[in-house]
């Protein structure tokens, strides 16, 4: 029997008669990093906030760590960690230091991670005594994550954790998430960054207009692995391109023809972005 952290069937939620989530099914295995990928307004946050116990659903079955999040208890909340999409309390009103924030949050949980260890884990060791309001955007997001993981959650919800990060901050952040999965934390990650889903997720669900378009590994999504490849090179008459199911054969022929290096040779499969754009185009 597969051990699931999350099971969702037939999930629906409407706001003023408009369906935000329109029949969503998926499950997340324990220890897995599962990504909900979709454009803004696709229903990602509504779905996640139902799973977190913040919102009530209109219909469907939802099990999170074996419990119904609509009947939340402190015992259940002690087993999950939540990093919300947008919270401004750290920037607008927090005169507390990083250590005070993490320490206070740890005090709500029965078996918290040591405060300093948590701070080091998110890479804020040098900012322990800095006030939260003085941190940069990326550092503040790391503090958000510290507050999400200090309770040693079995399941961590991350809602668009790296929006607004510069590329280097994003890479560091990915490293942190990889550390957490190594420790066995199940992660549900919503994002609209394809490279992020591709790098981190074991499986990706593409959601569009409140429905799941497809669930698969980043490598196979949208038939990527089987899709025709494009081979491009520069011949004597200028750039050339062929689309083929047998790229190896094409390249071998080219190598023979050019007797060695083929100028500006590129072989490419559809990128995750290509298949994603096709999917959300189809879904809307």
Partner 1 sequence: MTTDNTTRKFPAGTVVRPDYRPPPLRSVYAVRAKVELLSFVREREAVVFTFAFPILLLVIFGSVFGGQDLEGGVSFAQYFVSGMIAAGLFGSSFQNLGISIPIERDTGALKRLAGTPMPRSAYFAGKVAVVGVVAVVQNLLLLSIGVLFYDLELPTSASRWVTYGWVSVLGLTACTLLGIAATAIVKNGRTAPAIISPISIVLQFISGVFFVFSELPAWMQEIAALFPLKWMTQGMRSVFLPDEYQTVEPAGSWEHGRIALVLTAWCVLGLAVAVRTFRWRNKADG
Does 55 participate in binding partner 1 (rule CB under 8 A)? yes
Q: Give the residue, chosen from 41, 93, 219, 266, that forms a contact with partner 1 under the rule CB under 8 A.
A: 93
Please choose, out of 59-67, 117-125, 217-225, 238-246, the segment that lies near partner 1 by the rule CB under 8 A: 59-67
Q: Is the dihedral of CA 51, 53, 54, 60 positive or negative?
A: positive
Q: Give the residue, chosen from 35, 47, 94, 118, that forms a contact with partner 1 under the rule CB under 8 A.
A: 94
Does 107 participate in binding partner 1 (rule CB under 8 A)? yes
Does 48 participate in binding partner 1 (rule CB under 8 A)? no
Cβ of residue 63: shortest distance to partner 1, in angstroms?
Answer: 6
The 3-class SS string of the chain reads CCCEEEEEEEEEEEECCEEEEEEEEEEEECCCEEEEECCCCCCHHHHHHHHCCCCCCCEEEEEECCECHHHCCHHHHCCEEEECCCCCHHHHCCCCEHHHHHHHHHCCCCCCCCHHHHHHHCCCHHHCCCEHHHCCHHHHHHHHHHHHHCCCCCEEEEECCCCCCCHHHHHHHHHHHHHHHHCCCEEEEEECCHHHHHHHCCEEEEEECCEEEEEECCCCHHHCCCCCEEEEEEECCEEEEEEECCHHHHHHHHHHHHCCCCCCCEEECCCHHHHHHHHHHHHC
Q: Give the residue, chosen from 14, 31, 63, 267, that forms a contact with partner 1 under the rule CB under 8 A.
A: 63
Q: Which is nearer to partner 1, 20 or 279 (CB)?
A: 20
Does 100 participate in binding partner 1 (rule CB under 8 A)? yes
Q: Give the residue, chosen from 44, 57, 113, 203, that forms a contact with partner 1 under the rule CB under 8 A.
A: 57
93 CB-contact burial (10 Å; exposed 0-12 / middle 13-18 / buried 19+):
exposed
Does 68 participate in binding partner 1 (rule CB under 8 A)? yes
Does 240 participate in binding partner 1 (rule CB under 8 A)? no
Does 92 participate in binding partner 1 (rule CB under 8 A)? yes
Q: Give the residue, chosen from 18, 40, 95, 129, that forms a contact with partner 1 under the rule CB under 8 A.
A: 95
Does 54 participate in binding partner 1 (rule CB under 8 A)? yes
Q: How many residues bind partner 1 (CB under 8 A)?
A: 56
21 CB-contact burial (10 Å; exposed 0-12 / middle 13-18 / buried 19+):
buried
Please choose, out of 5-13, 163-171, 207-215, 276-284, the segment that lies near partner 1 by the rule CB under 8 A: 5-13
**Per CB under 8 A, which of residues 137..156 are in contact with partner 1?**
147, 151, 154
- Binding interface with partner 1 (CB under 8 A): 1, 3-5, 7, 9, 15, 27, 30, 46, 49, 52-61, 63, 65-68, 70-71, 73-75, 77-78, 82, 84, 86-89, 92-96, 100, 103-105, 107-110, 131, 147, 151, 154
């Amino acid at each position: 029997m597969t051990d699931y952290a999350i099971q969702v069937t037939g999930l629906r939620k409407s706001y003023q008669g408009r369906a935000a989530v329109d029949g969503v099914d998926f499950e997340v295995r324990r220890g897995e990093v599962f990504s909900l990928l979709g454009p803004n307004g696709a229903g990602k946050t509504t779905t996640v906030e139902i799973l977190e116990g913040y919102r009530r659903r209109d219909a469907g079955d939802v099990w999170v760590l074996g419990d119904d999040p609509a009947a939340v208890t402190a015992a259940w909340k002690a087993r999950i960690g939540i990093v919300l999409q947008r919270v401004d309390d750290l920037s607008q009103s927090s005169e507390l230091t990083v250590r005070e924030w993490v320490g206070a949050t740890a005090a709500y949980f029965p078996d918290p991670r040591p405060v300093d260890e948590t701070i080091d884990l998110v890479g804020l060791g040098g900012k322990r005594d800095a006030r939260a309001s003085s941190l940069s955007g990326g550092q503040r997001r790391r503090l958000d994550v510290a507050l999400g993981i200090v309770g040693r959650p079995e399941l961590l919800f991350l809602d668009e954790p790296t929006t607004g990060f510069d590329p280097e901050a994003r890479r560091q952040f990915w490293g942190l998430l990889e550390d957490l999965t190594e420790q066995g934390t199940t992660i549900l990650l919503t994002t609209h960054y394809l490279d992020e889903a591709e790098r981190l997720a074991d499986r990706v669900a593409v959601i569009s207009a409140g429905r799941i378009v497809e669930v698969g590994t980043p490598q196979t999504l949208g038939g990527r692995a089987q899709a025709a490849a494009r081979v491009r090179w520069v011949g004597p008459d200028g750039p050339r391109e062929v689309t083929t199911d047998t790229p190896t054969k094409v390249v071998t022929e080219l190598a023979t023809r050019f007797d060695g290096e083929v100028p500006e040779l590129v072989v490419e499969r559809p990128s995750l972005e290509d298949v994603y754009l096709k999917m959300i185009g189809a879904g809307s």
